[in-house]
Structure 1
Amino acid sequence: MLLEKKNAIVYGASGAVGSAVARAFAEEGARVFLAGRTSATLAVVAEKIRASGGVAEVARVDVMDEDAVEAHADAVVRSAGSLDISFNAVSLPQTGIQGTRIVDLSPDSFDLPMTTYPKANFLTARAAARRMTGQGSGVILAITASPSRTAVPLMGGMAPAWAAIESLVRGLAAEVGPRGVRVVCLNAAGMPETPQLSEVYGLHADAYGISRDAFQARMADLTLRKQLPTVAEIANVAVFIASDRAAAISGAVANLTGGLIVD
């Protein structure tokens, strides 16, 4: 198994992407620590992992609370002996954030993703880096989306926030690389089966005066394979990059857009 004897924290582990990645980590042998704001929904994910023979533990952690993030990371190391993988998959409801022209956007709506996503990734990545550099190994993962690198209307503060995370990944990778720690960002196009993307596509479809299905078809047609990525595909790549088989990858933004972005 690719992640045998690895200990992984997944933040936002009750969401569509976080839960899928947590399950994939566990299937490949990792002991998974599920972190989020709602214990009940995390418990559902943990039970599915355990039912499949995996090992999962749950903790209520607010990723915007510096002390809570640090205390949880300490607890993981005390319990498991090391922190080997950290993946931040936290998200916000997008109504009021996407679907409005920048010229019509309120400062608060622009500010919310800008102050939430980069800070959340900073706090969790910093906590992981502090412990991983001490042990001389580890992998820190983040996730963004294609508008960070393309010219897409009606994104509000989301595209700048994602771009900030990618910049954070590169800078952190440069600092911790000499001490055995890798930092990588997954950049994905929309995954239509997730509730958040259903919301997002609906917001954009309404702005264009078309149906949600029509907007989704438009986005799929922009990819080279005429198909948007699935959550399972993202999770599979997360497993590989978190594994020792991807030891040469750091400071990178992995393109999982299906050709929506062409590098």
Structure 2
Amino acid sequence: MLLQGRNAVLYGGAGAIGAAVARAFGREGATVHLVGRSEPALRAVADEITSAGGRAETAAFDAFDEAAVDAHARDVAERFGSLDVSFNLIAHPYAFGKPMVEMDYADLEADVTSRLRALWLTTKAAAPQMIRQGSGVVLTFGGYGDPQANLGGLQVAFGAVEALRRTLARELGQHGIRVLTLQTGGVPESLTNEDPKTQRAIAKMTEDQTMLGRAATLDDVANAAVFAASDWARTLTATKLNLTVGATVD
């Protein structure tokens, strides 16, 4: 098992992507600490993990509450002996299909600041625990590819998060902490809150931009996250894992 004995905190653990990653982490031996706002939704994912023989804990709170995030990270490290992986998978609304020049600045700023705040708060909470143990992995999701039209502030926000991720990797590397991004061009399977017509439109747009004519699946993302969090990726930090199926060329 690639993550045997690790403690992984997943923020947004009840979402489609968060749940897929949580199940994969549990399968690979990690104790998965699921964080989100809805205890019933978190418990449903935790029950799947434990039914399959894994270990999972839940904590229902708002990950924008700095005191709650800090207290939870300390509790995980103290009660379970380590905090090895912190993965921010909190969902954020954005103005899909809207040109930026038609947006109010407040809406653009809100998208950028909410994503930055989520990564900053969760990493700031995990870092002291990881520094103390001399190891850890911080994962973020999204990445920044070639600019596309009519995505509102989404790519601007991803660009800001990538800038923060690079700085965090530089500052935390001396403590044995790796910081990585999982970049996709979109995961159509995860669009469970969209109406079927919008789902199909986004899926087609995503697939048409790839080299292989298909988009990343939830399993693709989950398996890449396991690799990124494991010692198999011990040489990787300050970079991204490109899961865009060729939509973004490095």
Fold in common (TM above 0.5): yes
| Structure-2 residue corresponding to 1:75 | 75
- Displacement, 1:196? 5.3
| Structure-1 residue corresponding to 2:235 | 248
**CA contact under 8 A between 1:201 and 1:216: conserved in structure 2?**
no
| Structure-2 residue corresponding to 1:231 | 218
Between the aligned partners of 2:171 and 2:195, the Cα distance in structure 1 is 37
**In structure 2, the residue corresponding to 1:87 is in which secondary structure?**
strand
Partner amino acid, structure 1, of 2:119: N
Q: Measured at CA, do residues 51 and 29 of structure 1 come closer, stay the same or move farther in structure 2, by a change above 3 Å?
A: same
- Displacement, 1:149? 2.1
Give 5+ residue unaligned stretches, structure 2. none
Partner amino acid, structure 2, of 1:106: D
**CA contact under 8 A between 2:147 and 2:155: conserved in structure 1?**
no
Partner amino acid, structure 2, of 1:185: T
- Displacement, 1:108? 2.8
Describe the superposition over 1:74-118 as per-residue Cα deviations: whole angstroms up to 9, x where unpaired.
Answer: 110111010001111001233xx2221111112232122112111
Partner amino acid, structure 2, of 1:171: T
Between the aligned partners of 2:173 and 2:98, the Cα distance in structure 1 is 39
Between the aligned partners of 1:257 and 1:105, the Cα distance in structure 2 is 27
| Structure-2 residue corresponding to 1:178 | 174
- Among candidates 187, 210, 221, match of residue 191 of structure 1: 187
Tell me the TM-score normalized by structure 2: 0.95
Between the aligned partners of 1:195 and 1:183, the Cα distance in structure 2 is 26
| Structure-1 residue corresponding to 2:130 | 132
Q: Measured at CA, do residues 199 and 152 of structure 1 come closer, stay the same or move farther in structure 2, by a change above 3 Å?
A: farther
| Structure-2 residue corresponding to 1:32 | 32
**CA contact under 8 A between 1:184 and 1:250: conserved in structure 2?**
yes
Describe the superposition over 1:52-93 as per-residue Cα deviations: whole angstroms up to 9, x where unpaired.
Answer: 011000001211111110000011011101000111100123
1:1-263 equivalent positions in 2, closer than 5 A: 1-94=1-94, 97-145=95-143, 148-195=144-191, 198=194, 202=198, 213-263=200-250
Between the aligned partners of 2:41 and 2:129, the Cα distance in structure 1 is 28
Identity across matched positions, percent: 41
- Displacement, 1:234? 0.5
Number of equivalences: 250
Give 5+ residue unaligned stretches, structure 1. 203-211
Runs of 4+ residues over 6 Å off in structure 1: none
Tell me the TM-score normalized by structure 1: 0.91
Q: Measured at CA, do residues 64 and 214 of structure 1 come closer, stay the same or move farther in structure 2, by a change above 3 Å?
A: closer
Q: Measured at CA, do residues 73 and 215 of structure 1 come closer, stay the same or move farther in structure 2, by a change above 3 Å?
A: closer
Between the aligned partners of 1:215 and 1:239, the Cα distance in structure 2 is 26
Between the aligned partners of 1:191 and 1:200, the Cα distance in structure 2 is 15
